[in-house]
Amino acid sequence: MRLGPHTRVTALVTSNSYSSKLFTFNYTVYISTFLSLTFICMKMHPFEVNQHQCQCPDSEERHPPTILFNILSRRHYSNSNSSVATAADRRGQYLVPKICHCDQRRTVCLKDPEGVCQAASAVLIKTIRFMTGLPSFRYLPQCDQLALLHNSWVPLFVLGLAQDNIEFEVTDSPATSILKRILLNTSDRGFEMEEPAMPTLARVHKLKACLHRLRSLDLSHKEYAYIKGALLFNPDVPGLQTPAFIEGLQQEAHRALHEVVVTLHPQDQGRLTRILLSTSSLLTIPHSLISELFFRPLLGQADLFQLMREILSLGTVTSDPSIESQRSKRCQ
């Protein structure tokens, strides 16, 4: 696909002079530094929580099963498909769900879901509008747009939360009643009902730590914009039709970010490094945490990414039929 010069974010440096070569060398060093810091940050501060063994005391010792629970949860040993009963089952004991209070597994939800979800929806729409507002993004093949959207919407959304100073508090998720668990339990029929992965307190704490680091940098609007551009145009996303062009856009975003940082903070030589470290941690935030915490209370079981695709398609309609034809052919 031949892409016109009007799709560039800024004009590329094409001079073969000594200053141009020196600029290219320095710029390559900044890109290499960013990628190295990203790898180090993901190794040193992984967002995924390690599955430590729960240290909570046995809930059976603290909350003995009630008579109603014992009656409803009685195991039927006459089931021909069940295996040989354990010694505990032969003594008439029953399985009691264990309540975990560790931060690693303690599930939480928004304390004010109505207000926070509305603010989060506004941030998500702004994020997609930011993408569609870039000519270089609009004229990419549609399949490349969707791939970049799927890869970058979470870090861009978190940047939007920090930029709009969205605050939120969480509380313990309401536990499913024992009666509901028993009545919906289908393990005796050979399968288990799947429940969505709920946000844990540990992951929410790490998300808030990322937001705190971003806000402490006191980023300007231009810095936010170029950081978003650098995260959006990721040439390493699998399945891209135009990775070389997207790599050029990412380089332009990094170059522009460096120029803005040097211009606004000439005395702070370590600011760019702190920005790169803070933004690299955004790449480790799980999609499930954002979707379940901020959008599940509002959308229910609806597909969030499908909704984003529809919003994206509404914002990328072009009057040039030839461009639409090229997009459809590339994505077939």
pLDDT band at 120 (very low <50, low <70, confident <90, very high): very high
Q: What is the pTM of this model?
A: 0.67
CA nearest neighbour of 207 among 161, 172, 171: 161
Query: CB-based contacts of 236: which residues, under 8 Å, 6+ apart?
Result: 243
pLDDT given at position 105: 79
What's the length of the chain? 332
Residue 50 has pLDDT above 80, yes or no: no
Classify 313 as helix, strand or coil.
helix
Interval 221-228 mean pLDDT: 97
Token pair 């920090």 is found at 162
Q: What is the pLDDT of residue 68?
A: 56
Q: Of the given ranges (189-193, 209-213, 270-274), which has the lowest mean pLDDT?
A: 189-193
The pLDDT of residue 200 is 93
What does the block give as tokens for 288? Answer: 């499930």
Structure tokens at 210: 């990322």
Instruction: Give the residue from 152, 167, 283, 275 showing the smallest Cα distance to 218.
Output: 275
Nearest residue to 60 via CA among 105, 91, 95:
95
With 60 as the cut, is the pLDDT of residue 21 above it? Answer: no
pLDDT over threshold 60, residue 195: no
Q: What distances in angstroms separate CA 279 from CA 152, 258, 313, one per listed residue?
A: 12, 14, 27
Distance, CA of 193 to chain centre: 25
Are 282 and 154 a contacting pair, CB within 8 Å? yes
Average confidence (pLDDT) over 216-229: 97
pLDDT mean over 272-277? 95
Q: Label residue 319 by pLDDT band (50, 70, 90).
A: very low
The predicted-structure confidence for 72-96, as pLDDT tens digits, reads as follows 555 444 444 444 444 444 444 434 4
- pLDDT band per the 50, 70, 90 thresholds, residue 48: very low
